[in-house]
Amino acid sequence: MKKLRINKTTKNDMITYAMVILAYIVVQVLVSTGHVSSLIQGLLVPFCTYVIVAIALNLTVGILGELSLGHAGFMCVGAFSSAVFSLACKDAMPGGLRFFLAILIGAAAAALVGFLVGIPVLRLRGDYLAIVTLAFGEIIKNIINALYLGVDSNGVHFSMKDALSLNMEEDGLMLIKGAQGVTGTPNDSNFTIGVVLILITLIIVLNFIHSRTGRAVMSIRDNRIAAESIGINVTKYKLIAFTLSASLAGVAGVLYAHNLSTLNALPKNFGYNMSILILVFVVLGGIGNMRGSIIAAVLLTLLPEVLRGLSDYRMLIYAIVLIAMMIFNWSPNAIFFRKRLKQRITAGKQPKKEEA
């Protein structure tokens, strides 16, 4: 067994990066040779969006060990802040720079909100984060639905009542129009940028986990009292991890907002159902397992679209597939079965190795 000795975790991370890059190359080749249907082409950016937000939530759930039910809310913050910026600067700067700044703004806005939510809640023990983030997600959605924002030659106008009370000039530009949301966001997202963002997210998260800070965060997850006893500032490390997670969810929101020309805060896309869906990606992919989150996010986004042929039955089938996957992944019997299967395969291989 003379082999290049690479650290096991490094190797594991490399497999994850390689998987993303390989998938990207394969898809690009298929697209350029015309083997990908428009449905899948249209889904490529949503894949990236959900992969990023799944990784972000996995950081909170898997590494920090806290439950967040408001990641759709952070996505929403990132989406709206960046969409407003892009719309306001639509003609002012070139597309590439504008989108780069939009990503930074979306990440910063979501991080700020995550930080503010985290300050009081992460001091507590127990499931308070889940409760507060759940409420936060709903509040954000309702605030945005009542928010009117416009800009004209007199400056920025803002109202929580209706569009008329903004008293805009004729040349004014509506940025957020209450329930109608943001319309006319430039379509800056594409698959390449999405994959680059996934890779950046992975690099940040995986390196964070293996860093000194990451180990401190995991020690809090595993035993809070022991961590405190060796002098770890529990609240500080929890806040770091949670803020990072929120800002990455914000990046996913930026990608989402710049993929569609209209952006509304509906229960469907930023409500708590979406937060639960993101949690499902994480749980199905394996809590704390980034690679699993990626695969689960892609498969579960793809599934309802592939099942379109079954029309109304697809919701039913989707649920059944979800349950089946859950059993296969987590049921003790299924795990035992998989272990035996694995043993049989390796047992079949072992003698061959000895012969050789």
Binding site for other proteins (CB under 8 A): 8, 11-12, 15, 19, 22-23, 26-27, 30, 34-43, 46, 142, 145-146, 161-164, 178-181, 183-184, 187, 256, 259-264, 266, 268-269, 291, 295, 298, 302, 305-306, 308-312, 315, 342, 346
Q: Which of 135, 139, 15, 130 is nearest to 77 (CA)?
A: 139
Helix axes 71-88, 38-58, angle to 10 degrees: 120
Least CB distance to other proteins at residue 39 (A): 4
Least CB distance to other proteins at residue 104 (A): 24
CB 107 within 8 A of CB 247: yes
Which CB, 119 or 347, lies closer to other proteins? 347
Least CB distance to other proteins at residue 10 (A): 12
Q: Which of 144, 124, 145, 121 is nearest to 133 (CA)?
A: 121
CB 279 within 8 A of CB 54: no
CA 235 to chain centre: 23
Which CB, 115 or 318, lies closer to other proteins? 318
Least CB distance to other proteins at residue 164 (A): 6
Beta bridge partners of 263: 182
Least CB distance to other proteins at residue 163 (A): 5
Which CB, 42 or 96, lies closer to other proteins? 42
DSSP three-state, residue 243 = helix
Which CB, 97 or 345, lies closer to other proteins? 345
Which CB, 237 or 272, lies closer to other proteins? 272
Could you give the C-alpha distances from 257 to 53, 67, 84, 264, in angstroms and in order? 14, 25, 10, 9
